[in-house]
Amino acid sequence: MHTFGYRANALLTYALTILALMCTIASFSDNFNFPSPSAEIQVLNFNWFQKQPHGNDEVSLTMNITADLQSLFTWNTKQLFIFVAAEYETPQNSVNQVSLWDAIIPAKEHAKFWFQTANKYRFVDQGSNLRGKEFNLTLHWHVMPKTGKMLADKLVMSGFRLPEEYR
């Protein structure tokens, strides 16, 4: 602790170490949050359902997405990344997951919402297995913290079925 520079360096190093410790504690405090999110998705309409020139089926649909994800937010949450995926089984693949729509929720106030939207991303199959197919719509969310580990979870909603014939 002899010179000015020596003390300034010691202070800075100690301050940064303590900062790292504070961030660890802040991240750990997220474990005390027990979230209770809820969501509901309705398919309003299948806009069109065709077989593409390459032989793959494609669907366009309009959905009503309602959710209350406010309980997922803590003081250490930066934003929430959510996406809706359609999941189904084909003879070729045991699990198919196609992402239809996503959004970033930056704050707790925006976490209780109602969206009516067509699928943002194309719902295309590998092959032509979609006629009359039963599928689940799953709402996935990734809780992105300000500091610490990211948490991912989902809510599965089943009971959806594609039309039998192309239209």
Partner 1 sequence: MDWQGQKQAELWMQILLLVFAAVALATGYIIGSFRMMMLIYAGGVVFTTLVTVPNWPFFNRHPLKWLDPSEAEKHPKPQKAVVSKDKKKSSKKVTAAG
Q: Could you list the residues that contact partner 1 (CB under 8 A)?
A: 1-2, 4, 7-8, 10-11, 14-15, 18-19, 21-22, 25-26, 29, 74-76, 146
Measured between alpha carbons, how far is 132 from 134 in angstroms, rounded to an integer? 7
**In angstroms, what is the minimal distance from the CB of 147 to partner 1?**
8
Angle at 71 between CA 150 and CA 98, to 5 degrees: 55
**In angstroms, what is the minimal distance from the CB of 76 to partner 1?**
6
Between 28 and 114, CB nearer to partner 1: 28
Between 146 and 161, CB nearer to partner 1: 146
- At 117, phi and psi to the nearest 5? -150, 150
**In angstroms, what is the minimal distance from the CB of 71 to partner 1?**
13
Write the DSSP assignment of 102-130 as a string of letters. Answer: EEEE-SGGGGEEEEEEE-SS-EE-SSS--
Q: What is the largest CA-CA distance in the chain?
A: 84
**In angstroms, what is the minimal distance from the CB of 80 to partner 1?**
15
Half-sphere exposure of 134 (CA within 13 A, CB side): 3
Between 76 and 90, CB nearer to partner 1: 76
Between 86 and 105, CB nearer to partner 1: 105
